[in-house]
Amino acid sequence: MHEPNFDVHPDHARWTHVALRVDDIDATIAFYTEMTPLELIDRRQDDAGFGAWLGMPGATNNPFILVVAQFLPGCDPYADAPKEVLAPFAHLGIELPTRQAVDDIAARADADGRLTMPATMMPAPIGYICMVRDPDGNMIEFSWDQGVYATLRDRFGDPPGAELAGRQ
């Protein structure tokens, strides 16, 4: 029998990550740590390539991370498959605390040539959003007033230590 690698495990099934294959792990880490609230949680290297975990800081009972992997030539187990990207509709979503925060991200992304949809008020429940491409072409949606955060709070209550951002 295989001995576990870790001493801590979830008490029930958890949704924990989304994984993306990337061409330049350094550029990807820089993009996500500079343009989103994600922080580098872990970085690894082995004979097959490089891997990194990006996620929200702080202790949680519901961890969710973005896993990125850059395979070395000849080591990609999916080398014969097309490199899939999240686009045009498929995307990662980040809900921001203010409308101005969406405008700020849109301006930064536009200056970097990554903005694919300017900040736009969409019908409910979508809210105020802009769309940005990461270094590998994956689509990232930045939103305000989308209601994901509010809906989960209404359904499950406030998490310990939560602070509500005021209406903008």
Q: Residue 9 domain-assigned?
A: no
Q: Do residues 108 and 67 both lie within one domain?
A: no
Q: Do residues 35 and 93 both lie within one domain?
A: no
Residue 119: predicted pLDDT = 98
Task: Tell me the average pLDDT of the chain.
Answer: 92
At 59, which CATH number? 3.10.180.10
Residue 31: predicted pLDDT = 98
Q: Residue 164 domain-assigned?
A: no
Per the structure, the count of domains in the chain is 2
Q: Residue 7 domain-assigned?
A: no
Residue 162: predicted pLDDT = 66
Q: Do residues 107 and 129 both lie within one domain?
A: yes
Give CA angle at 13 (12, 15), nearest 5°. Answer: 135
In this predicted model, what pLDDT tens digit does every residue of 46-68 receive, in sequence order? 999 999 999 999 888 888 999 99
Whether residue 131 is predicted with pLDDT greater than 60 in this model: the reply is yes
Q: Residue 149 domain-assigned?
A: yes
Domain end residue (candidates: 46, 72, 98): 72
Q: Which domain holds residue 110?
A: 85-157
Q: Which candidate, 44, 46, 48, places its Cα nearest to that of 73?
A: 48
Q: Do residues 44 and 91 both lie within one domain?
A: no
Q: Residue 162 domain-assigned?
A: no
Structure tokens at 25: 């792990």
Q: Residue 59 domain-assigned?
A: yes
Three-state SS for 57? coil
Q: Do residues 60 and 32 both lie within one domain?
A: yes
Rounded Cα–Cα distance for residues 37 and 57 (Å)? 9
Over the range 102-114, which residues count as b (16 or more CB within 10 Å of their CB) and which as e? Answer: bbebbeebeeeeb
Q: Residue 6 domain-assigned?
A: no
Q: Do residues 148 and 109 both lie within one domain?
A: yes
Written as one letter, the residue type at 29 is I
